[in-house]
Structure 1
Amino acid sequence: MCREVDLHQAVLAKNDATAATLRAELAARGTTVVNLLSSPGSGKTALLEAELLLARDRGVPVAALTADLATENDAMRLARSGVPVKQVLTDGLCHLEAGMLSRHIDGWLPDATRLLFVENVGNLVCPASYDLGESLRVVLASVTEGEDKPLKYPTAFGLAQLVVITKTDIAEAVEFDEAAFRAHVEQVNPGVEVLLTSARGGTGIGALLDRAVATADGGVTHAPVMARQEHIHRHEHGTHSHTAGSGALAQSGS
């Protein structure tokens, strides 16, 4: 058991080092990465498509990389926006890693890209443990998923710098309790902003883009308590944390 834990820590340590290098390299060329995490069926692709269209209309140089276990359906949808889009097939792997992202953007990502949106594999467990070199980590949940989602996936929601509620146009029909959801988010990640969106109805479209642009411009992002605690733990004890992305997140707003 100890050897398995040590191996896991080594894998995450290597990923964190790669992520830090990638973050620095992209920052040097003026590119900011936005990592989007959610369960399957949250409406992540629909919202991202709307945001990419708006970015194009506003003249913001953006690109999108979307990851799935199989099919290129999401990439084909996002390509309708007219911005550079690339599909990554993970062949069964339930998450992206920093090295994978680095390899896939090498030689593909346009030099002038200001924002790179990464649509992670639909999963709130594995992706939460891997820093991709992002400067903004966003977790999305639809109104159909239940108000207790943040409590069931505390690492994913606890490390988020922004939380987005999707499909709000059907919130009343599914009896979504927004106050309860917000309370649960606050419980695992005090102070994080929660946005309301509906790709179909148009509610909140542009808010995600605005937050991403503000991050690219050097604005202060939310620093999750969980990330700060893990940051302190690593420095005090010299050990690697199981909480991925904490190095980048702990620096935000400090």
Structure 2
Amino acid sequence: MGRFHRHDGDHDHEHEHEHEHDHDHDHGHDHDHPRVDTAPTAAHGDHSGYATESDRVVVLERIFAENDQTAAANRGDFDHAAVTAINLMSSPGAGKTMLLRETLLRLRSRLRIGIVEGDIETSIDADRLDGLGAAVALINTSNGFGGECHLDAPMVRSALGRLPLAELDIVVIENVGNLVCPAEFEVGEHARVMVYSVTEGEEKPLKYPVMFRSADLVLVNKVDLIPHLDFDLDTFYDNLRAVNPDAVTIEISARTGVGLTQWCQWLCDRHEQNRAATVTS
């Protein structure tokens, strides 16, 4: 997992936490991440200058314990309502919102879908989903210092009261665009789906293994652009399998519609599996 550590000189520094956005904000829940590596390895680079502080480890453990407790409560509410929750993650600009628009257009006659829309500022993405038959609960993570770089379980819980869970089949949680932090926080989801754009390069699974490793399904988006890119799809798949050999993949283009039938069927199948498991438990 991405973690913060401290260099000599008593200043915080990020390791394996290279965001696709500015990260100079103050997390409101004491979100310092200690690094626990103690020796350099060929796979992870030279960490010999990093130090672990026990007090920060304790803080981190408390943060995740509290988050996981709320995530379990969220999942309990989803299960009670027979709702399947999907945590949709990606880097900024990978195409999550366009994918959601096309998904709602294709599934609104088959499934009752709710959206938890996470964004740092504005209602731009939530507005793009308006009028498509989905209940949408917007979460802006701005805290006056730039905003949180992810959704956590308490944020999602705050949105559930604004969704008619008893009247829904699926809730898609569109996380903040970021390739690190969203993967670290359970929010009560039943499955994690990552939207990856081919414009991001083949090396991203190796650079951001936490995100790719956490995904149950990777949607390889914007495949219509491959003829115009210096991009090797086979190399991407090799890199993905190196960090997550069990990930399911579907090649899609939210713009042209390629692969969206398979994606929508995956959603329907996942909901049926989850509902069956809930009934028998």
Which of 188, 191, 203 is residue 258 of structure 2 equivalent to? 203
TM-score, normalised with respect to structure 2: 0.75
| Alignment match, 1:135 | 190
| Alignment match, 2:240 | 185
Q: Which moved more, 1:20-29 or 1:203-212?
A: 203-212
**Deviation, structure 1 residue 81:** 1.8
In 2, distance between residues paired with 1:50 and 1:205?
8
Across the aligned residues of Structure 1 and Structure 2, the Cα RMSD in angstroms comes to 1.5
Identify the structure with the greater helix proportion.
1
In 1, distance between residues paired with 2:240 and 2:162?
39
Work out whether residues 135 and 215 of structure 1, in 8 Å CA contact, stay in contact via their aligned partners in 2. Answer: no
| Alignment match, 1:78 | 129
1:171 paired to 2:171: no
Q: How does 1:116-127 map to 2 (within 5 A)?
A: 116-127=171-182
Work out whether residues 182 and 194 of structure 1, in 8 Å CA contact, stay in contact via their aligned partners in 2. Answer: no
In 2, distance between residues paired with 1:109 and 1:184?
40
Q: Which moved more, 1:122-131 or 1:78-87?
A: 78-87
| Alignment match, 1:43 | 95
The residue type paired with residue 77 of structure 2 is E
CA displacement, residues 121-150 of structure 1 (integer Å, 9 cap, x when unaligned): 000111110001101101111010000111
In 1, distance between residues paired with 2:208 and 2:218?
13
Stretches of structure 1 lacking an aligned partner (at least 5 in a row): 220-254
In 2, distance between residues paired with 1:88 and 1:56?
23
The residue type paired with residue 36 of structure 1 is L
| Alignment match, 2:73 | 21
| Alignment match, 1:88 | 139
Work out whether residues 78 and 165 of structure 2, in 8 Å CA contact, stay in contact via their aligned partners in 1. Answer: no
| Alignment match, 1:214 | 269
Q: How does 1:105-120 map to 2 (within 5 A)?
A: 105-120=160-175
In 1, distance between residues paired with 2:264 and 2:102?
10
TM-score, normalised with respect to structure 1: 0.83
**Deviation, structure 1 residue 197:** 0.6
Runs of 4+ in 1 over 6 A off after TM superposition: none
**Deviation, structure 1 residue 23:** 0.7
CA displacement, residues 71-126 of structure 1 (integer Å, 9 cap, x when unaligned): 10000111142321122100101111111111111143342111001110000111
**Deviation, structure 1 residue 155:** 0.6
In 2, distance between residues paired with 1:6 and 1:175?
45
**Deviation, structure 1 residue 192:** 1.2
In 2, distance between residues paired with 1:216 and 1:200?
25
The residue type paired with residue 61 of structure 1 is R
| Structure (1 or 2) with the larger CA radius of gyration | 2
Stretches of structure 2 lacking an aligned partner (at least 5 in a row): 1-52, 275-281
| Alignment match, 1:54 | 106
The residue type paired with residue 74 of structure 2 is L
Instruction: Kindly tell me the number of residue pairs found equivalent between the two proteins.
Output: 219
The residue type paired with residue 52 of structure 1 is L
Work out whether residues 136 and 163 of structure 2, in 8 Å CA contact, stay in contact via their aligned partners in 1. Answer: no
Work out whether residues 194 and 215 of structure 2, in 8 Å CA contact, stay in contact via their aligned partners in 1. Answer: yes
In 2, distance between residues paired with 1:149 and 1:142?
10
